[in-house]
Amino acid sequence: MNWEQLLSTQRLGLEKYQGAQKQERTEYQRDYDRLIFSSPFRRMQNKTQVFPLPGSVFVHNRLTHTLEVSSVGRSLGESVGRELRRRHPASKAHVSEIGAIVSAACLAHDMGNPPFGHSGETAISTFFSEGKGKVLEQDIKESGARWSDFTCFEGNANALRLLMHRFRGRREGGFVMTYSTLASIVKYPYSSELSGGKNKFGFFASEETDYSLIAHELGIPLLNENPRRFARHPLV
């Protein structure tokens, strides 16, 4: 992997419009701003962070936690960017923007988590594996979806879906984020078929093709073809 390829301003859904744009913000800063002003981001204020019995009336919510993580991520990313520039002064890679990429990825890292965190993931998974949702198994498989995406529901994969999927009323590419920001969100770059029955995987079947395209364009190695497993983007 090389940084010039890993740091790309190409946007999902706008591939044919790629080109230099005159604007005050960088492409990665635009990613950050799109997340800040989005409904899924604001909804995190109603999701509590994991906590013991609090000693005060203040309870950490997902929104507060995410803003704190993003702040730390920006500082770490900028530090890495400075070091990369020192080591590779002639590189054309956007290393000075690593802080913006990491901070944007941090904003999105919990967006796909259901209420009640991992307990919520378990509740959704159990609904399909043991509950009333089990009757949908055949229909889901026939539709081309992956049943294990439902029986091992994963908040991280759901975050990627929120950002990439063309929901009703949305344009192609969903949030139309840069490839680098999207890849930096995927902590577990493989499908649910490789999760071993655990809620640890990076993309649903519906986003696998698009993520494979992103990984290819960024030069992220494919470690296993079927089921697909990729290496992690270094900024994860």
Instruction: For each of the domains in the chain, give its residue range(s) and CATH number, in order of start.
Output: 26-48+60-111 (1.10.3210.10)
Please report, for residues 87, 117, 177, the alpha-carbon distance to residue 113 in angstroms, rounded to integers and kept in the order given: 38, 6, 19
Return the pLDDT at 24: 80
Tell me: the pLDDT tens digits for 124-141? 999 999 999 999 999 999
Return the pLDDT at 16: 72
Return the pLDDT at 86: 94
C-alpha to C-alpha distance for 33 and 31, rounded to whole angstroms: 5
Q: Which two tokens stand for residue 227?
A: 């089921």
Spans of the chain, pLDDT less than 50: none
pTM assigned to the model: 0.88
CB 100 within 8 A of CB 32: yes
For residue 202, give the nearest of 171, 170, 233, 166 by alpha carbon.
Answer: 233
Return the pLDDT at 174: 86
Return the pLDDT at 52: 58
Return the pLDDT at 88: 92
- The neighbouring-strand residues paired with 224 are 229
C-alpha to C-alpha distance for 84 and 64, rounded to whole angstroms: 30
Return the pLDDT at 69: 94
CB 140 within 8 A of CB 153: no
Residue with tokens 């290819």: 216
CB 204 within 8 A of CB 192: yes
CB 140 within 8 A of CB 149: no
Residue with tokens 């904003």: 107
C-alpha to C-alpha distance for 124 and 56, rounded to whole angstroms: 31
Reported for 22-26, long-range contacts at CB under 8 A and 24+ positions apart, including other chains, are 26/94, 26/97, 26/100
Return the pLDDT at 199: 76
Return the pLDDT at 10: 92
- The neighbouring-strand residues paired with 229 are 190, 224
Residue type, 225: E
Give the phi and the psi of residue 119 in degrees, each rounded to 5.
-65, -35
For residue 202, give the nearest of 127, 94, 105, 64 by alpha carbon.
Answer: 105
Tell me: the pLDDT tens digits for 161-205? 999 987 776 778 889 999 999 999 999 999 998 887 777 899 999
Return the pLDDT at 46: 76
Number of CB atoms found within 10 A of residue 211's CB: 25
Q: Which two tokens stand for residue 210?
A: 């698009």
Question: For residue 8, is it left (φ>0), alpha (ψ between -120 and 50) or beta?
Answer: beta
